[in-house]
Structure 1
C-alpha cells in the first residue's frame, strides 16, 4: 500500500480509503467486520463514513453506519490509533436531520458529540461538511443554468462559514476532532474557508472529497490544481460512478441487490445514453488489456496527478478484493492513450 500526506496535517493516509455507506442497508455488521479486516490487512488506514449513512438515506438508516463502525471499534480498541477515521455532518434538505436545516455552529457541536457516541470513540480524525449550505454544482447540477450563482448572498454565506469554522475550532480545542474537511464544494468554497481560517486563526481545511471518475471529471484541472497549490488533500468519491463503470448496469441491467435496484434520492441521473456508450467502450478496452472494467477505472483515478486517496466501497468481498488490486497497477502509456481517446468522445456523459 502507498501513502500520501493528508494536506498539511502531517498524517499519512493510504491511497485507498474504505467507504462505508452501504453498511446498515446493503451490508450488515458481519459484512462490515470482514471488510474492515481485509482492508486493514491490505494496509488501508483511512475509513470514511457520515452521520447520514446508510444510503439511500432515510430516517430508518440514519446513523446506522457510524453505529456499525462503533461496534467494531468497541471490540478492536487497540486498533483505533491505526485508523484515520473520517465522518461528516449532513447538510440541509433532509427533514429527519435537524429538521432539514443548515449547517450551523450549534449543529456542528451537537453532531460531533452524536457521532462520537455512535462511533464509540473519543475523537474523530477528520470531520467533514457533507455539502455546503448554498446549492453547489454537484449531483448533476454542474450544467450551465442548473444553479443560480448570483442569487446567493456572498456575505451571508461567508458569515455562515465563519460560524462553522469557529465551532470546529471549539471541537479541535476540546480534542473531539483533529482536522476538518469539505465535501461537494467548489474552488470558491475552498478558498473562502482558507481565507477565513488565515484571518481568524481558525482550523485550516485539510481535504475535500468530490465525485470524480472517468464519467465525471469536472474537477480536473481547476479544482484539483487549487488543491495542489494550497496543500488540500483531494479525495475522489464514486470513482466507479456509483458502480456504473463496473459495467453491471449496461443496457438497463439491474442485478438483484445492486445499488441501482434501490430507489435513489436524486434518481439515476448517471444513467444516460452517453454514459451507457462510454461504459461499453471502457469495458471493452479494459478487457482487451486483461483487466476488469472496475480495475481500469480505479487505477485511472488513482494515477491522476493531485489525487491523494480514492474512496472505494463494495457490497461483496469479491468486489472489494477485485477493486483493491487496481491500486497495484501501473497503466501503460498505450492504455492511457486509449483511455484518453474514449474520454475525449464522452467527456461529460451525465
Structure 2
C-alpha cells in the first residue's frame, strides 16, 4: 500500500479509501466489521461515509452507515487516531433530511452534531459537502443542454457559499472537524470556494470526490489539473461505474444481491449500449493480461496523474480483497495504449 498527502491537510492517506455506502442495506454490522478488519490489515487508513447512507437512500435507513461505523469505532477506540474518517452533509432533495433544504451554516451545525453522535467520535477528519446547492453537470447531467448554466444567479450562489463557509469555520474553530472538502463539484465551484476562503480567511478545501472511471472521464484533464495545481486531493468515486466495469452486468445480467437489483436513485443505471460495448472490450483486455476486469479498472484509475486515493466499496470480503489487490498492480505501456484506444472509441460510455 502506498500513501499520499491529502491535499494541503498534511494527512497521509492510502491509495485505497474504503467506501461504506452498502453498510445498512446490502451489508450488516458483522459484514462491516469484517471489511474494516481486512482493510486495516491491508494498510487502508481512510474511511468514507455520509449522513445519507446507505444507498439507495431512504428515510428508514438514513444515517445507518454512520451508526455502523460508529459502533465499530466505539469498540476500537485505540484505532481512531490511526484513521482518516470522512463524512458528508447531504445537499437538497431529501424531504426527511432537514426538510429537503440546501446546505447552510445552520444546517451544517445540525448535521455535524448528528454525524458526530452517530459516529461516536469527537471529531471528523474531513467534512465534505455532498453536492453543491446549484445544479451541476453530475449524475447524468453532463450532456449538452441538460443544464442551463446561463440561468444561474451568480450573486445568489456566491452568497450561499459564503454562508456555508461561515458554518465550516465555526466547525473548524470548535474542533469538530479538522479539514473540509467538496464532492460532486466543478472547476467553477472549486475556484469560487478558493476565492472566498482567501477573502474570509477560512482554510481551503483539502479534497474533492467526483465520479471517475474508464467509462466516465469528464474530469480529465481540466478539473484534475486544477486540483493538482491548487493542492486539492482528487478522490474518484464509483471507479467501477457502479459495478459495471467488473463485467458482472454484461448482457443485462443481474446477479442476486447485486446493486443493480436494488432501486437506483434517479434511475442512474450505467448500462447504455456504448458502456456495454466498452466494458466488453475492457473485460477481454483484462483476461488477456491475466487480471480481473475490476482490477484493470482500478489499476488504471490509480495510475491517472492527479488521483490521490480511490474510493472502493464491496459487499464481500472476497470482493474487497480482489479490489485492494489491484493497487499493487502496474499496467505496462501496451496495456495503457490499448485502454487509450478503447477510450477514443467510447469517450463517454453513459
Question: Does TM, scored on the shorter chain, surpass 0.5?
Answer: yes
Residue 127 of structure 2 corresponds to 127
Residue 295 of structure 1 corresponds to 295
For residue 33 of structure 2, give the secondary structure of its aligned residue in structure 1: helix
Q: What is the alpha-carbon distance in structure 2 between the residues aligned to residue 243 and residue 330 of structure 1?
A: 21
* Preserved CA contact (<8 Å) 1:282 1:339: yes
Report the TM-score when normalising by structure 2.
Answer: 0.99
For residue 260 of structure 1, give the secondary structure of its aligned residue in structure 2: helix
Q: What is the alpha-carbon distance in structure 2 between the residues aligned to residue 111 and residue 268 of structure 1?
A: 26
* Preserved CA contact (<8 Å) 1:92 1:133: yes
Residue 259 of structure 1 corresponds to 259
For residue 234 of structure 1, give the secondary structure of its aligned residue in structure 2: strand
Q: What is the alpha-carbon distance in structure 2 between the residues aligned to residue 85 and residue 206 of structure 1?
A: 14
Q: What is the alpha-carbon distance in structure 1 between the residues aligned to residue 263 and residue 202 of structure 2?
A: 40
Following TM superposition, by how much is the alpha carbon of 1:349 offset from its aligned partner in structure 2, in angstroms? 1.2
Q: What is the alpha-carbon distance in structure 2 between the residues aligned to residue 82 and residue 241 of structure 1?
A: 30
For residue 280 of structure 1, give the secondary structure of its aligned residue in structure 2: helix
Q: What is the alpha-carbon distance in structure 2 between the residues aligned to residue 193 and residue 233 of structure 1?
A: 15
Q: What is the alpha-carbon distance in structure 1 between the residues aligned to residue 341 and residue 320 of structure 2?
A: 28
1:226 aligns with 2:255: no
1:340 aligns with 2:340: yes
Residue 276 of structure 1 corresponds to 276
Following TM superposition, by how much is the alpha carbon of 1:332 offset from its aligned partner in structure 2, in angstroms? 0.3
Following TM superposition, by how much is the alpha carbon of 1:266 offset from its aligned partner in structure 2, in angstroms? 1.5
Residue 58 of structure 1 corresponds to 58
Following TM superposition, by how much is the alpha carbon of 1:268 offset from its aligned partner in structure 2, in angstroms? 3.5
Report the TM-score when normalising by structure 1.
Answer: 0.99
Q: In the TM superposition, what are the counterparts of 1:27-176 in structure 2 within 5 Å?
A: 27-176=27-176
Q: What is the alpha-carbon distance in structure 1 between the residues aligned to residue 140 and residue 223 of structure 2?
A: 17
For residue 150 of structure 1, give the secondary structure of its aligned residue in structure 2: helix
* Preserved CA contact (<8 Å) 2:123 2:175: yes
* Preserved CA contact (<8 Å) 2:140 2:268: no
Q: What is the alpha-carbon distance in structure 2 between the residues aligned to residue 215 and residue 289 of structure 1?
A: 19
Q: What is the alpha-carbon distance in structure 2 between the residues aligned to residue 150 and residue 101 of structure 1?
A: 23
**Structure 2: 5+ residue stretches without partners:** none
Following TM superposition, by how much is the alpha carbon of 1:243 offset from its aligned partner in structure 2, in angstroms? 0.4
Kindly provide the CA deviation profile for residues 276-320 of structure 1, in whole angstroms up to 9, marking residues without a partner as x: 111011000100010100000000000000000000000011100
* Preserved CA contact (<8 Å) 2:183 2:210: yes
Q: What is the alpha-carbon distance in structure 1 between the residues aligned to residue 50 and residue 9 of structure 2?
A: 21
Q: What is the alpha-carbon distance in structure 1 between the residues aligned to residue 70 and residue 280 of structure 2?
A: 40
**Structure 1: 5+ residue stretches without partners:** none
Following TM superposition, by how much is the alpha carbon of 1:343 offset from its aligned partner in structure 2, in angstroms? 1.0
